Amino acid sequence: MDNIDTVSTDILIIGGGPSGLATSIHLADALKEKGLTHRILLIEKGSSIGSHILSGAVIKADVFESLLPGVDFSEIPLNAKVTSDATVLLSEKGAFKLPFHVPYMNNKGNYTASMSQICRYLAKKAEEKGVEIYTGFSVSEILYKDGKVIGAKTIDTGVDHNGQQLENFQPGTRIEAKLTIFAEGTRGSLTKMLIQKYKLDQNKNCPIFSLGVKELWSVPEGNIKPGEVYHTMGYPLNLKEFGGGFVYGLNDNKVAVGLVVGLDYEDPAFDTHDAFQAWKTNPFISKFLKDGKLVEYGAKTLPEGGWYSIPKLYTDNALIVGDSAGLVAMPALKGVHLAIISGMLAARTAALALSRNDFSESVLSQYESSIKESVIYKDMYPVRNFRQGFENGLITGAIHFGTQLITGGAGFFGKLKTRPDSETTKTLAAFKGKPFSERFKGKLEFDKVLTFDKATDVFYSGVGHDEKQVPHVRFNNPASFDTINIKQYGATEQYFCSSEVYELHTDKNGHQELRIHFENCMHCKTCDIKSPGDGITWSVPNGGNGPDFQNM
Amino acid sequence: MALTIISLIKQVPLPSEMRMGEDGLMDRTKAKSIINIDCQFGLEAGLQLKKQYPDARLVVCSMGPRSFEVALRTAISMGYDEAYLLSDRKLGGSDTYATGLAISTMLRHLGFTKDAKEPFIILAGRQTSDGDTAYVPSQVAENLGIPQATFVESVNADGKGYVIAKRIIEGGYQMMKLPIPCTISLTPTGIPPRKPSLIGAIKARNLPITVFGIDDIGLGTEKIGINGSPTIVVNVVNIVSERAPIIMSVGHDDATLVNNLISNFNKGSNVVAKKEKVEKKVSEHPDFPVVDIRNGAKGILTWAETANGEITRPSIEILTPARNLADQLGNDTKIMTLLIGKNVKHLSQTLFEYGSDEVIVVEDDRLEEYLVLPFSSIFAQVIKERKPEIALFAATTSGRELAPRIGVKTGSGVTADCTGLEIGEYINRKEKIINRPILHSRRPTYGESKLATILGFVYPQISTARAGTFEVPPGLIGRKGIESTFKPILTGDEFKVEILKTVRGEGSLQNLFEADVIVSGGRGATSDSLGLIKKLAETLKANGVNAEWACSRVVVDEGVAEYAHQVGQTGKTIRPKVYIAVGISGAIQHLAGMKESEKIIAIDHNPKANIFHFADFGIVGEYQDILPELIEQVKGGFTFGIVPVKK
């Protein structure tokens, strides 16, 4: 321990997404206002800011006016303002444009955007305000002292698959902080530990997620107008599966397409990537992509448990913000503005704590009470039961949603519970639905023009991992993995993973094993969420590893 | 007396995103950048030395645009202490000669001279991915007048003021003992570079980087930049692959797949449809006066490299382009070959038979093994006396350090790793003259995707030629030539570097050039340490086929095989009748080394592996399952169409 380097800071922010960056910017502003100077360190595991950022995205942009007062709005690298917005019901070949907006789905006044770009812009602003940003460093460990968080440590590099030190071993750096802010994004690996250690999820619903896969295309002029926005329902999902597709027209003849699927589905062979490819073959969608070129691919999970799944967001010396806190408003699936607001609220609390030099719960609890008075509450509380209502499919979900609209979100059944996504997958024996391969018969041969296999798509995410390191995905119980995950669930991991990390290998003698190609990992964390049995734990790989998103 | 370790690094575009400017020079504005991989290994070697010398000062230097500061800061975050950048617009377009001169001038300015009181070691990468010459470290060493070791895999200090380096040579390695100060260039096969640490990054953020312009270090403009460099790039064209589409084996089990492969192989590969060549528009040939700038220089000088008492094959190969060039020059141009060693005189006759007109013999007991310092000195003395217009070397590990070191002595530019050598002209539109005759050296560059033509204006024009590219000339038994001896003046200083041990393994390089069938394993074939790869090669050999095993770079990197078995990257093109690529993804450097093979068979579990785009026949499957089947077939008499030689 003696030879480990230690850095001291006042504030440590783990994660350089919208919430972490907003925290740093607003805190720097608040401190300046109070005439205080404190060190703010922000650590991002991606090789650069934005490289691990993916979002649809249609965002509520007015939030930037409060985050960056005095900044010319046109300076913010938003994409096109939404010009038309429609919800379309799809069948395999058909499309029906709904003549009305689904409640909460109106995007008037919103903007399409690349969150990678916006984050790069925010990082520049943060650095101008004195925030120290370090990219390409993975924080793998929370540091505790006397049972309290005192900072975090970056990962040791230069180790082999078993963690043995190699000649080029480089020990991680200890970062001691008065206040550590967890802004790791969806299913944060440290946040998960923090929640477990301090039981921050006590009396809360468990978090549930959906998985979004997205492609960015460059298309011929005229395929779609900038600001033209479509959300689709129906195909390729059935009535029991929650989710839908999106098509966002962007500037410069770019178009973002994607499919978001609730991870509470039952079919162990369900493959979101493949379903997304099938979705693109619907003529309503394919016309936007005609003669176009795939530019980028990526995947991300979204926490959609809603209000009741938000854990307690503070403990002594620590706060949780953004997606790590589960702040996504349903059914619009909007989290960016909430992430930014949570960051700003956390910043105000942090400023207060710094001015009092008190980082205990008694001061930090102010963060949670401020959330209850904010847009976060306003956007999330009325739909607090929305997502749970869909557990048994679209029809009951719609009925629940109808009653919730009348009752201000309560519905007729009070607080609806959630079930972990890992428990909803059925075993091969128990699953009675149409097999996935038959549902999409003829759609799973990818032509590499409109549709792409996973390996090709993964190439378009720019993903890369150091070969020499401890694999960052780990079977929690290798013994039960064979008997439960492979035998009973048919290695559902090979299907749900949209970056081909898991490959089921059958040898000559018929013995099967699940091989891990962690080098393909897009850091969406679906495996940590959806793997049945004893499951899989996702932790951070070496810094700078993972996808290299440019405009996602 | 603290040791200073100086790492020379270059920032290069990420190889996959290489872009080139209109003028054929590197356009560094469009691509993402990294520290050149080999240079990263140099940085790590410095950090390893620091373990032996905890008090050592770690200095990192670079030359290039201001954006190279990013690379320097990365080096700091890995553990370096100080950073210097030589950055000046006037340096733009510098070739290796000019680069070596500029960097060594900066180093001298920083006090790192031959006679400096404080000891220092200069570390560099073997070569850069965008330049690919491997010359600059030698040129820096020569400019500073200090010893060098290039193509070094590992470096240690012996604690008594010497550096022990493991230098990779064809077919093996050498252990060398060098005095301090010295220059070492590192292959990317040693200890991989460490990742930056956060504490290092915090230090790097605040550390000032000293940026020098050429005036700051007292460097004039006459020998640098695009105008001062002795060579220029005149033309760059894309390299297009011309292999016909692959025939994939079909079948549901391993035996069927292999049987299908054999029947496909026997039927023959697809043939590429010949495209009509479009007549290129010949740009107007101006009527300028022709100027011969050779100033009396005449003849072609080559080097006869020896190993194990024989002349190496690449040294004989270069007699092919040498003869072509002599014929093109006409006017009774002679080929002179310099033969250096201990008791080597008797090898002259071989050289005559392959085309040398004169063999200049230098014999000295101290010269039994090649050493760059005395050899370069001998060459400089011979060149001074004989005034050849062209000097050719095989681009072996020795040729690629010897040629640039000589170039610094003669003021010549040196072209690296050429695959084409022709006599042509240079139309100088500015001065309205035509230089003729002039050597056109062609070399693949930018990750083997482009072919550049480079001209030199200082005589002799020096080039190294990629081994395996030129055929061995037809020998003429009994052909006679002139044998002369040369007595060089050598000082004790030139023998300051000691070779402790030379190890040349069995088979390897020479065999790779001569084998009819090469079985090559990549990363995807290492789970049994290439056991099946070697077994297939052995089985073929046992059946009378001249077969050899090889591997891709990663396999060498992982320590599974020796460097000498590596195909791709460093100056080595093989062209067997059949090349069997197993578990090889098809990195561009590997393809460059083997794509001249007559037939290529690819076996890989990944159907999307790049190698399948460059092969004639393919099987998708696990090599552990496919190779045993194939070995059985070979035992049963299948020899890939090669007529077996019964022993």
Domain boundaries, chain A: 6-69+117-206+307-383, 79-114+208-303
B197·A175 Cβ contact <8 A: no
Classify burial at B529, counting beta carbons within 10 Å of its beta carbon; exposed 0-12, middle 13-18, buried 19 or more.
middle
SS3 B619: strand
Q: Is the pTM of this model over 0.90?
A: no
Please tell me whether the peptide bond between B437 and the residue prior to it is cis, using omega within 30 degrees of 0.
yes
pLDDT tens for each residue of A275-293: 999 999 999 999 999 999 9
Higher local confidence (pLDDT), A359 or B554: A359
Q: Are strands B182-186 and B148-157 parallel, antiparallel or unpaired?
A: parallel
Please tell me whether the peptide bond between A331 and the residue prior to it is cis, using omega within 30 degrees of 0.
yes
Segment (H or E) for A112: strand A111-112
For the domain with range A79-114+208-303, which CATH number is right: 2.120.10.30, 2.60.120.10, 1.10.569.10, 3.30.9.90? 3.30.9.90
Cα dihedral sign, B430-B431-B436-B441: negative
pLDDT tens for each residue of B145-192: 999 999 999 999 888 889 999 998 877 789 999 999 999 999 887 899
Tokens for B481, please give them.
């030539």
B199·A7 Cβ contact <8 A: yes
Tokens for B148, please give them.
């060098």
Q: Which residues contact A478 (CB under 8 A, 6 or more apart)?
A: none
Q: Go through B226-265 and write b for each residue having 16 or more CB atoms within 10 A of its CB, e for each that does not.
A: bebbbbbbeebeeeeeeeeebbbbeeeebeebbebbbebb
pLDDT tens for each residue of B293-333: 999 999 999 999 998 889 998 999 999 999 999 999 999 99
CB-CB contact of B442 with B13 (8 Å): no
Spatial separation of the C-alpha atoms in residues B545 and B516, rounded to whole Å: 7
Distance between start and end Cα atoms, chain A: 40
Same domain, B494 and B540: no
What is the mean pLDDT of the segment spanning B366-392? Answer: 97
How large is the angle between the packed helices B399-410 and B136-144, nearest 10 degrees?
50
Whether B191 has its CB under 8 Å from any CB of chain A: the answer is yes
Q: Which residues contact A209 (CB under 8 A, 6 or more apart)?
A: A186, A187, A262, A263, A301, A302, A303, A304, A305, A421, A526, A529, A530
Same domain, B109 and B36: yes
Whether the pLDDT of residue A433 is over 50: the answer is yes
CB-CB contact of A181 with A319 (8 Å): yes
Q: Which residues contact A252 (CB under 8 A, 6 or more apart)?
A: A218
Spatial separation of the C-alpha atoms in residues A6 and A175, rounded to whole Å: 6
A6-69+117-206+307-383: in CATH 3.40.190.10 = no
Which 283-322 residues of chain A touch chain B by CB within 8 A? none
Spatial separation of the C-alpha atoms in residues B158 and B175, rounded to whole Å: 12
Closest CB from A7, A43, A157 relative to B194: A157
> Residue A100's pLDDT band (boundaries 50, 70, 90)?
confident
Same domain, B552 and B536: yes
CA separation, residue B574 to residues A467, B126, B313 (Å): 29, 22, 12
Which residues in chain A are closer than 8 Å to B79, comparing Cβ atoms? 170
Tokens for B308, please give them.
């194990």
pLDDT of res. B274 = 59
Q: Which of A108-122, A164-178, A537-551, B230-244 has the lowest mean pLDDT?
A: B230-244
Spatial separation of the C-alpha atoms in residues A348 and A350, rounded to whole Å: 5
Whether B610 has its CB under 8 Å from any CB of chain A: the answer is no
Which one-letter DSSP state was computed for residue B566? B
> Residue B586's pLDDT band (boundaries 50, 70, 90)?
confident
> Residue B510's pLDDT band (boundaries 50, 70, 90)?
low
pLDDT tens for each residue of B594-604: 888 899 999 99
> Residue B27's pLDDT band (boundaries 50, 70, 90)?
very low
Cα dihedral sign, A481-A485-A491-A493: negative
Q: Which residues contact A495 (CB under 8 A, 6 or more apart)?
A: A268, A269, A270, A271, A274, A436
Domains: count for chain B: 3
Spatial separation of the C-alpha atoms in residues B573 and B596, rounded to whole Å: 8
Which residues in chain A are closer than 8 Å to B622, comparing Cβ atoms? 507
Tell me whether residue B101 is in a domain: yes
Q: Mutating which of B199, B252, B560, B623 best tests the A interface, going by the most A Cβ atoms within 10 A?
A: B199
Which one-letter DSSP state was computed for residue A485? I
Classify burial at B109, counting beta carbons within 10 Å of its beta carbon; exposed 0-12, middle 13-18, buried 19 or more.
middle
pLDDT of res. B275 = 58
Whether the pLDDT of residue A9 is over 60: the answer is yes
Tell me whether residue B242 is in a domain: no
Q: Which of A26-30, A58-62, B102-106, B197-201 has the lowest mean pLDDT?
A: A58-62
> Residue B276's pLDDT band (boundaries 50, 70, 90)?
low
Spatial separation of the C-alpha atoms in residues A305 and A201, rounded to whole Å: 12
pLDDT tens for each residue of A446-457: 988 999 989 889
> Residue B28's pLDDT band (boundaries 50, 70, 90)?
very low
Same domain, B129 and B39: yes
CB-CB contact of A190 with A143 (8 Å): no
Tokens for B46, please give them.
């410095």
Which residues in chain B are closer than 8 Å to A542, comparing Cβ atoms? 195
Whether A512 has its CB under 8 Å from any CB of chain B: the answer is no
What CATH number does the domain containing B556 carry?
3.40.50.1220
Tell me whether residue B158 is in a domain: yes
Please tell me whether the peptide bond between A57 and the residue prior to it is cis, using omega within 30 degrees of 0.
yes
Q: What is the maximal distance between C-alpha atoms in chain A?
A: 72
SS3 A513: strand
Whether the pLDDT of residue A393 is over 90: the answer is no
Cα dihedral sign, B174-B175-B176-B181: positive
Whether the pLDDT of residue B243 is over 80: the answer is no
Whether B21 has its CB under 8 Å from any CB of chain A: the answer is no
Spatial separation of the C-alpha atoms in residues A5 and A173, rounded to whole Å: 5
Same domain, B252 and B103: no
Query: At which residue do the structure tokens 């998708």 appear?
Result: B620
Closest CB from B191, B606, B608 relative to A168: B191
Same domain, B488 and B510: no
Other C-beta atoms within 10 Å of A146: how many?
A: 6
CB-CB contact of B396 with B170 (8 Å): yes
Q: Are strands B433-445 and B450-456 parallel, antiparallel or unpaired?
A: antiparallel
What CATH number does the domain containing B333 carry?
3.40.50.620
Tokens for B267, please give them.
């039927």
Spatial separation of the C-alpha atoms in residues B35 and B20, rounded to whole Å: 18
Other C-beta atoms within 10 Å of B365: how many?
A: 8
Other C-beta atoms within 10 Å of B366: how many?
A: 11
Same domain, B549 and B498: no
SS3 B75: helix
Q: Which domain holds residue B362?
A: 290-502
Q: Mutating which of A47, A133, A138, A170 best tests the B interface, going by the most B Cβ atoms within 10 A?
A: A170
Which 32-51 residues of chain B touch chain A by CB within 8 A? 44, 47-48
Spatial separation of the C-alpha atoms in residues A319 and A349, rounded to whole Å: 9
Which of B502, B522, B547 is the endpoint of a domain? B502
pLDDT of res. B621 = 86
How large is the angle between the packed helices A336-356 and A361-372, nearest 10 degrees?
150
Same domain, B112 and B177: yes
Q: Are strands A228-234 and A243-250 parallel, antiparallel or unpaired?
A: antiparallel
Query: At which residue do the structure tokens 């999307």 appear?
Result: B608
Spatial separation of the C-alpha atoms in residues A320 and A183, rounded to whole Å: 6
Tokens for B473, please give them.
């000339």
Query: What beta strand segments (E) does B513-627 contain?
Result: 517-521, 547-551, 578-582, 599-604, 617-620
Same domain, B498 and B509: no
Spatial separation of the C-alpha atoms in residues A210 and A243, rounded to whole Å: 8
pLDDT tens for each residue of B402-417: 999 999 999 999 999 8
Same domain, B353 and B224: no
Same domain, B317 and B201: no
C-alpha radius of gyration, chain A, whole number: 23
Same domain, B525 and B608: yes
Q: What are phi and psi of A125, to 5 degrees?
A: -60, -45
Distance between start and end Cα atoms, chain B: 64
pLDDT of res. B495 = 96
Is the ipTM value over 0.85, yes or no? yes
Whether A511 has its CB under 8 Å from any CB of chain B: the answer is no
pLDDT of res. B31 = 59
Q: For residue A246, which of A262, A231, A224 has the smallest C-alpha distance?
A: A231
pLDDT of res. B21 = 44
Please tell me whether the peptide bond between B460 and the residue prior to it is cis, using omega within 30 degrees of 0.
yes
Closest CB from A157, A456, A468 relative to B608: A456
Whether B205 has its CB under 8 Å from any CB of chain A: the answer is yes
pLDDT tens for each residue of B610-637: 888 889 999 988 899 899 999 999 999 9
> Residue A195's pLDDT band (boundaries 50, 70, 90)?
very high
Which one-letter DSSP state was computed for residue B26? B
Tell me whether residue B526 is in a domain: yes
A5·B48 Cβ contact <8 A: no
Whether the pLDDT of residue B572 is over 70: the answer is no
Q: For residue B59, which of B2, B98, B11, B143 has the smallest C-alpha distance?
A: B2
Q: What are phi and psi of A506, to 5 degrees?
A: -115, 125
What is the mean pLDDT of the segment spanning A126-143? Answer: 97
Q: Are strands B148-157 and B162-169 parallel, antiparallel or unpaired?
A: antiparallel
Amino acid symbol at A490: G
Spatial separation of the C-alpha atoms in residues B389 and B322, rounded to whole Å: 12
pLDDT of res. B78 = 97
